[in-house]
A and B are shown apart, each in its own frame.
Chain A
């Protein structure tokens, strides 16, 4: 990507908290009008990354650029970057209207009363809270609170909005509704959203592109379908929660794992050797079946009905849990005998080999 079109750019950002490195040499460049989701397990440094961009934390090393300007040493209130908190962080002593008007009314730039009123009502309308202006923020529900937080940020017309697990405090139903709304609001306004989440489904569903953070480093930055189909590292495959990842060693195009030694054709370069097979690419066969292709014996433990598919849980002799997903569009669910042995088989082409 050309650097001129980048709305924000990180160069070698490193941040340490009392000996613990939260971010290691992170470089990232994001263009305007994009929905970026940032996926990482807790402790991967994803919140720290957001706080460094917002200016709440100063990096130990590295630079932060925003709209072509080096903002590394510029205080948060002069950056013009919006921030939406997981706990909403609404001003509890103000009404919905005053929360949304806060930035316009108290900023460095003088804005006329009429313009404030117009923009505040517009923002409140945008997030669907018209009629709630006079309420205190204690008198509205969690979903409405997050809408107020969003309106409060968007009314300032920022070109970049950072969202720190914005849906984390909402119940599942509301979360799904807010997902669609966040996307459509962003598309309406044409701003860039950087959305931090620990949920892989949320990251894949919402982002135009997905950044995967692993222990303070960017492990992958790609489109959701690429991340899903071609995880860059064994850990990314693990975070996606869609892959059975087997440890082992790769030597001379042969992978040795719990299922024995297999000749592999293509490998994904990685500092760790691993063998990953997607949940829905595994077949369950009776014990002792002599099919072709790699297979591993495992004991059936339990199944879980997910509506459109069923998850089957198996355990190998080493105690590793293997998940197999069966899409119901492919046929009725099968019943397996608990504590019985089965053979789990897959096509060699469906495996991703790291090493």
Chain B
């Protein structure tokens, strides 16, 4: 069989391309951040089912985020974006309630530097304080509304038990928004981790998902720097790379992956990718109708830089707000050009040597 012209880049059905004959339909996740309540049941269920080592018992000061990032020991990561600014164009969700002051530029800047032991490498790395401070600062400019001015920074470290704003009085209260999203491996159509894996440990399943074979992985770490989403990570002590398998074992038995099974709000939906894409498009349309114009899909488009994700998202702000890259591209798109450049450089090297020796003895 000739390789598909899109085998390195472009729309593609990955399982048949990987050599599966009579593959079942491609399965994936649609994670709808608009109904995520941040309960972390997905994180717990994933760890329980997959026997992932524990980690992240301490809050990081990044709202209620105790995981920080996807790592080899956290295959779901619930992100919490807590900002003193109005939530989209809706009625502020906390209008009339004592809110505000819970997050400030200063507290976000401090939170950027926190770390919990993940037991993985590179794991959860500290962030830069300036952009974190920008994130935590009240929005000024086009979104001016009540309470969006810059308030005196107040470091709270982590969410307290008392309602935010209780100590500051009504005049100190600000609007704020609270976004939550359960991040996961994207199971890309063109998966850079799989492409660069030198042992064949990473492979494409019949469901179109991407799985690490733990008995093959020798911990070379290439997949870690290849992933455009920063998902895959190395477990310390163990030395191997680990990530979400989309519960390959459960899929084979016709079951739903643990996280989707545990999600109480159906924020995580599991199913045939084509059906999920239709459902996602309908959901976005509904949200737009209901006055949530900021709702947008991420990773659903087969024409994007990775050929579309098997696990895609509905977000309520730009991807980078949630820690996702705005325009990820699979590195293998440029691989033919890279090999050509290396070939030219190799020829130049050989030619230079010949010239050096042909040039006489001086």
Q: Are A and B interaction partners? A: no
Residues of A that sit less than 8 Å from B by CB: none
